[in-house]
Each structure stands twice: as structure tokens, then as C-alpha cells.
Structure 1
């Protein structure tokens, strides 16, 4: 049996319309992929309805907001479910998504093709978000510019680098905040950073929750192996920015040479 395919298109309101060549089955199932060794717990079912030229159509509206993670897409036919292959994907409205202001909480959805060739939807759900704009590596300095969504940056804002598995080791940097109170930049040129992985946050005000720096607002579901940056040598170390599997921005610090 040929594995069915579904095309999809995203509109400016965040709706995703799935289309199949025919109305085969009664619905689509979105399954939040569980962590390894854990049972599946979160499912969302969409009605499959007739569309033009005999096609089948299902719509994932802007609500409900999906939990953060990876959602695999299946065709439901009675008690059977079949994982769908991708058809054409129209993601044009996502390309310049970083140019539009977003409100809290930030909910992002990006349809994509898995490594084994199936259709899935990558989602993020965050109370507020710092969208990375540019990452510049020049000489021994690393400069990052970003824009805050769902919050603003009054006096007292700070960028924090937190050493992963570092027992609370934190470095604090003062960002340069633009007149709009939301865009900011900062430079890392510290030869004394400990070896390891440093995760990057902005704290809008003293005592406020920290907001992770990431690049989420476009059509790239998995950025880690697509956007690869060189390292910045600083004394006896090399600092290299990179995107994690969740598209968050982190720093890898290694010994030079």
C-alpha cells in the first residue's frame, strides 16, 4: 500500500491547512512525540472534510495552542492510523515572521519533514521570547543582536550567560538597548569563560524571569546544522556560537589549539 501524503499551507494567523489527494479516512491525528522510553500522552484530532476536486482537507486553527515539541501527523481510518508523508509545503508567510511583533505567550508552529521522511509539526510555546537577529564573529569578539517579544527592556536589563552543569556559574553582560525598548545587542569578549556550554538569556528587569535567546520566527524547524558559525579566539580559548536542537542560541567554549 502506498503511504498517503499530505500537503500543507500556513497562513498569517497561524492556521495550518492540510490537504490530501482524496478523502480517505475520517481525520488527522497530531501526536506529541514522547521522550524516549515514555508512553504517548498528548493527542489532537482534526476532522477531515471534502474539498475541491475530491481532495480531503483538515485545518489546525490558531487555537488550541499546542504544547512545545514535535508533533507527528497521522491519517485516521477507523481504528487504524497511518503516518503521513509530506506533500507540497507552503511556508512563505513564515519566512519574514521575525519582522512582526508577537504577543505573550509566544506560540510558533513550523511544518517540516523528519529525517526519515515523514510529515511533522515543530512547535514552541514560551511566555516571552528573545528572537536572535544577527550573530557576528569578528576577530576575538562575538556580537549578538536580538529583539524581545512579549516583554520590554526597561532600565536594569541584563544578558546572562549560564554555564550548563556549572553549579550556578553565571556571567552578566550589559546590553545596548535601542530606543524602541525591545531591540538590543551585546558583545562577548571574555577570555576567562570556563570550558563548557553556556546558555544565553536576557533578564528584562531585576527579579524578572529570564528569557532564552533563540531563533524561532521563520520557516526553519531545525537550525543546528543549517546555521553554523566559526569560533572567536579569545586568549587561550575559542568561543563558538551555535543553535541547539531546540533552536536556542548557546556558546561552546573550548581550549584553543
Structure 2
């Protein structure tokens, strides 16, 4: 449909040019010698000129064909390392944090220059356990599993989304790319601390106790030392 409109537009432009040439040749063209019938030549010349002008206008007004050309994208993935892990996610949280960044420098040691940024961070946090850190003993005769040591719940994944709500800087203290990286790192650390201070860690330990107890009881075994799941410091590891 778009191409049809282009063709119709071009045809109308040519028709107008031809009509203008015919009117000029018939009514307004001055004669310096004996009148002759050169309308055909004028119409041919007008057609050629109109086609050239219409082509130029067509190229200037309408988008070029290069804009519709396909874009080739290539990428190269390098896998640095692969290893087997045994980690279980037992809690998930959605956190929204407002991070306010402010830095002041003094020009000539007495003129203050301040840059500010207000960032809203929306993050998805996954809390779980690294089972490889767990230690236990198995009594096959009495069907008893005794927990000797159980790891603390960890932040297994932290996926932040940064929305820069406000910027303020000046010529002598402007926000650079290094500042943006620093702001993102500090904001991410704030979200991490908020997750540690929330109830996600407690929810994770309760979920793990329920999971282990149900799995052991389903196979008619007993679980001892389950209280060690609740005995953990408020520490966490987070992927960088």
C-alpha cells in the first residue's frame, strides 16, 4: 500500500508539470518569429524535467531504501568456566530502593561544586543455600540423618534495574561514566544490605527446614540437628 501511494504521488506530480508546460506553451509562450507548432517538443522537455525534479523530491522527502535494509549483528560468546553446583533457591523478594548520591568538590579550595543523582533501584533477589557446604552423618541402621553443620542462607542472585530519576552537575564537577559505575555499585550494595535486613533470610531458613523434614519423613527417616538451620550469622555472598 505504501509503494502504491508513492507511485500515485509521483504520477500526480508529473501530470501537474505536464499541464503547466502545456498551458505555458499555449497561452503564455512569446513568439519572436513566425508562430510554429512546437508544443510536442515543449511537452517532451517538460516531461523529462518533471521526471528529474520528481525523482529528486522523491529521494529527499521519502525515506531512503538504506533505512529499510537489514542490520547484521554478530556476537562472540566466551565461556570462561563451567562447574557443577548444588544450590537451592527457597525464597524470592522484590525490592525497591531509592539511592541518593551527592558529591561536592571545592574549586580553588573555596567555591563549592556539587553533583547529585537520584536513582530508583528495582531488584529481584533470590535467597538459597549451597548444599555443598552442608555436613551430616547417616545412620542407615536406625534411619537417622544427623546434621553436623549447615550453611547460612545466601543471596544466590541479585538482578537490579536502575532508573535514573534526577541528575544535577556543572562544568567543574560533572557526572562521568566512572560516577555512574560507582553509583550502580553503591546502589546495588544498598539493595543487598536491605535484603539481609529484611525477613527473607528467616523465610529461607523456615523453607529449608520444611523441605528437609518433609523429604526425610517421606522416606520414613528421622532428622536430627535441624535447629542448626536457624543458627546462622547475618552474612551473605552475592554474585558480582
Task: Pick 1 or 2: higher relative contact order, CA cutoff 8 A, min separation 6.
Answer: 2
Q: TM-score range by the shorter chain?
A: under 0.3
TM-score normalised to structure 1 length? 0.21
Q: Identify, as 1 or 2, the structure richer in helix.
A: 2
